[in-house]
Amino acid sequence: AAAAALRARAPPEPARPPHRRDAADRVADRPAEPAAVRAGAPPRPVAAALPRRAPAAGRARRRRRPAERALRPAGARCRRAPSRVVGGGPRPGRLRAALRRHLRRAAGERRPARPAPGRPAPGADRAALGAAAMTREHRPERFAQLTYTSSDGGDRPGGWGVQDVAGTLDAPERAALTRRIVPRFVPVPGLPAYPAPEQLAARPARVVHAPAGPGTAYWHTVACGTDAHGRPGNVFVHVLLDRGPPATEATGSPVRPADLAASGSWLRPFGHAEVATTALRTVPAPPWTAEPGRAAVLDFLFAEGGAGIATLCLLLDALDAALRGGRPVVLGPAAMDRAPLWIAAADHLMSLGAARRCGWSTYERVPHAGEWPADLHLVAVPAADLAAMSAGSAPSATVLDEDEEVPRADLGDAPRTTRHGEQVAVTPWSVMAFVVLAERAGAEALLSRMDAAGAAVPEATHPAWAMAMAIAQAPDLAPDAVPAACAVLSSTTPPSVAVRHPALYDDVLALVSR
């Protein structure tokens, strides 16, 4: 009693905030368990239902305690709002969807079936779907370009480096393209200190072509005078990457890689001021016009009574060995502006697949022979440098002069000896080329058939296969070349021709069985 009196006189203890209440306080707030009713005693009145406490902020809904369920009036139910947690009850959106399905079934309607993955819905605009698919599936552009030089750069860091990029280039492609750049080009004769405009227009260029992954790439290099600091020997390199198949001219014939060697679309600035402001946005979009084209090549070959055809046949024999892993071919033209024509002549007489994997350069110097890329098969050097092409300086090259005196050879003849003492074996390729180039009209007809056969069978990478296929389709145009064509077709025809091109395969069988 005394303790109760002291507690009654004591001041009330301040209530703790809800977030500071401990477990003992929460247990004290619980209602007492109802005492058990003795047998025969009158039942006690049922306690009123306890009000529900709001859950603490940030906690999940709690289950009701057994004590609260025991104190709930008999027959009373707790009305709950639809739960928003997963699995907490029906959702209004689902109910509306179920109701719509029920009403459609009652009205006899059916919802149109969803199209299969990858198939357009009925009535869809196929052009719009195709554009959307191309947007979703990123495909790199066919062409990409970059320029490389030594420049102060303006807003770019100075020194050697990439100056401009057009198109999409990922890091491996960019590294592969810049790795092959040789920042040195010394043509002969060199430019004067203050060249005239006509001298700048006639500057020689070094154009290198080589396979680059599934496509091809070109490196066009010109001397551009001094850099921003007055140092001589600066060069400007314009690089073009072609990821696609051979482009097609307006005439329908494919553009050969060598057809771009003398294109007017290459950038050729001179002087550090012009170099710093040269941009790729001024370059027309590829593919460019073929320069030199087939007409220029035939004019070159049939000039002077076709005196260069015999030299071309010797060049084809040496190039055939180089494409099969042999020594590269070094050609010394009388003038370096004729080098693109010699390379284009060999390019137009080989299959498209072989032309895309044939590496060549229109201008190299012998003192820098150690810097030539290893995958070059045909290289043109000034005639003055051929004297340095001795066994000690370049032992792994077949050297040819433009004015070689070459006798005609047939299949089975002994190898021909060049002026520099190299032995070149006779191949069916040169035998067919000599017959095909007997007259210009027949050459144009057979070269057109070569383009069609090479475009139809791009996997035919043997250099002479397309020419042999053209002879098989029109043997009357070159009857003396039929034995050489049979030798090529019987050993180099891809197996896919019998399945994908039965008409071509029938021509092969008809020629071989003659």
The answer as to whether 11 is a domain residue is no
CB 423 within 8 A of CB 459: no
Q: Which of 219, 254, 282 is the last residue of a domain?
A: 282
State whether 308 and 215 are in the same domain: no
Same domain, yes or no: 345 and 430:
yes
Residues 274, 329 within the same domain: no
pLDDT tens by residue, the chain, 514 residues: 655 655 565 556 555 555 555 555 554 555 555 555 555 555 555 545 445 555 555 454 455 455 555 545 554 454 554 444 444 555 566 666 766 666 666 655 555 455 444 444 444 444 443 433 333 345 578 899 999 999 875 666 678 999 999 999 999 999 999 999 999 999 988 888 889 999 999 999 999 999 998 889 999 999 999 988 888 999 999 999 999 876 655 555 678 899 999 999 999 999 999 999 999 999 998 888 777 789 999 999 999 788 899 999 999 999 999 999 999 999 999 999 999 999 999 999 999 999 999 999 999 988 666 667 778 999 999 988 887 775 455 557 899 999 888 888 888 899 999 988 889 999 999 999 999 999 999 999 999 999 999 989 989 999 999 999 999 999 999 999 999 999 999 999 999 999 999 999 999 999 988 8
Quick one: 201 and 337 in the same domain?
no
Q: Where are the alpha helices (DSSP H) in 137-249?
A: 171-179, 197-201
- Domain assignment present for residue 398? The answer is yes
Final residue belonging to a domain, choices 247, 282, 317:
282
Kindly state whether residues 274 and 341 are assigned to the same domain: no
Angle (deg, nearest 10), helices 482-492 and 465-473: 120
Domain tally, the chain: 2
Instruction: Indicate whether 396 and 453 sit together in one domain.
Output: yes
Does an H or E element contain 136, and which? Answer: helix 126-136
Residue with tokens 């977030």: 19
Whether omega for the bond prior to residue 287 falls within 30 degrees of 0, making it cis, is: yes
Is 271 in the same domain as 307? no
One domain, residues 306 and 445: yes
* Residue 235, in any domain of the structure: yes
Sorted by sequence, the CB contacts under 8 Å of residue 329 that are 6+ apart come out as 315, 318, 319, 322, 377, 378, 379, 397, 398, 400
Identify the DSSP state of 230.
S
Q: How far apart are CA 496 and CA 345, in angstroms?
A: 29
| 394 and 495, same domain (yes or no) | yes
Q: Quote the CA–CA distance of 238 and 149 in Å, as a whole number.
A: 9
Question: The domain containing residue 264 runs over which residues?
Answer: 143-282
User: Within a domain: residue 87?
Assistant: no
Phi-psi region of 249 (alpha: psi -120 to 50; beta: other; left: phi over 0): beta
Is the same domain home to 303 and 376? yes
Cα–Cα distance, 150 to 509 (Å, whole number): 58
**Shared domain check, 415 and 340:** yes
Residue with tokens 């996997």: 459
Residue 338 covered by a domain: yes
Contacts of 405 (CB under 8 A, 6+ apart): 419
Whether 99 maps to a domain, the answer reads no
Last residue of a domain, one of 282, 306, 322: 282
- 341 and 252 share a domain? no
Domain assignment present for 474: yes
In a domain, 67, yes or no: no
